[in-house]
Amino acid sequence: MAAVSKSLALKKDLETEIGGLAVGVSRAGLFAGLSVLGFANGIVGRVQEGVVNEGIATALFATFNISAVVWVAFVACPLMFLREQRQPLLRTDMVVAAFVMMAFILPFWPLSWVALTGLAFYILRGSFTLRGRQPYSPMRSGAWILLATTGTMFWGRVLLHSASGPVLGADAVLVGWLAGTETIGNTVRFADGDGYVWIAPACSSLANISLAILCWVLFAQFRGVEWSFQNIGWCLLACLSVVVINVTRISLMVLHQEHFDLIHGTIGATVASWLSIAVVLGICMWGTRRARLSPT
């Protein structure tokens, strides 16, 4: 009898502990933890590749070839979730979290971005259901940032690989028009007629466009900017600016073949990257200057 009583007491203590844990976890805490875990799992391939190819120090200095805008989004997303008023977990939250965790466990890192995309859509749908169409919701803002991050880190690459011909061809047409030279597919003839410049996927404007969108989403969500035609126009302007910078850089390669290595190399890439970031930041700051700051 003593053993049975002890067993029942242990069972009751365990149930109390589990119940307290469930009560202690909020929706915001759950989604913040999943976003951090998913991001970490999603970049593991890039981190390993950078360390193997460049060494730990070089890869770390280059932030594992992941834009600083993405790293800011990685921090901003869970912070926005945690600013939401405390809400108890729903049964559907636990079901979604279970499926998301299953995707994280599988040894195929792209699934992490797919799972995070589904999580973002689930939060967006749920935020409207729970809070109505209120002008500001930290939970909804965090979900928009999460969705834009998956676009930059995964869906943009999927689009580029699946439609590389038209995407790279569009870049070539713009470069050919600006430089005034012949284009064939995704190649552009040098101005002196001696050979062609082949526009590789890594040189596409699409990657920069996805970063510009992510940067705009970060500013818009932190400043509580609602979607409108005017704000979408500012976002499109940011996207257009990075296209112009990228096309101009490739056009300079076409026009000045003697400086191709300089423009195409580390110096040219670094200058173009910093210039793009500066212009996009300026457009985002100016476009959201009159927005009210989101509440703390």
pLDDT tens profile 237-255: 999 999 999 999 999 999 9
**What pTM value is reported for the model?**
0.83
Output the pLDDT for position 209: 94
Helix ranges (H only) for the chain are 2-24, 27-42, 44-54, 56-61, 68-82, 91-105, 110-131, 138-150, 156-162, 164-179, 205-222, 229-255, 260-264, 266-287
Q: End-to-end alpha-carbon separation of the chain, Å?
A: 56
pLDDT tens profile 35-67: 999 999 999 888 888 788 877 877 777 778 888
Residues facing residue 188 across a β-bridge: 183, 197
CA distance 270 to 131: 44
Give 161: exposed, middle or buried? Use CB within 10 Å, 0-12, 13-18, 19+: exposed
Band of pLDDT at residue 18, cut at 50, 70 and 90: very low
Output the pLDDT for position 51: 80
Residues facing residue 88 across a β-bridge: 26
Output the pLDDT for position 154: 94
Which pair of tokens denotes residue 32?
């913040």
Ranges 17-31, 81-95, 133-147, 159-173: which has the least confidence: 17-31
Output the pLDDT for position 291: 64
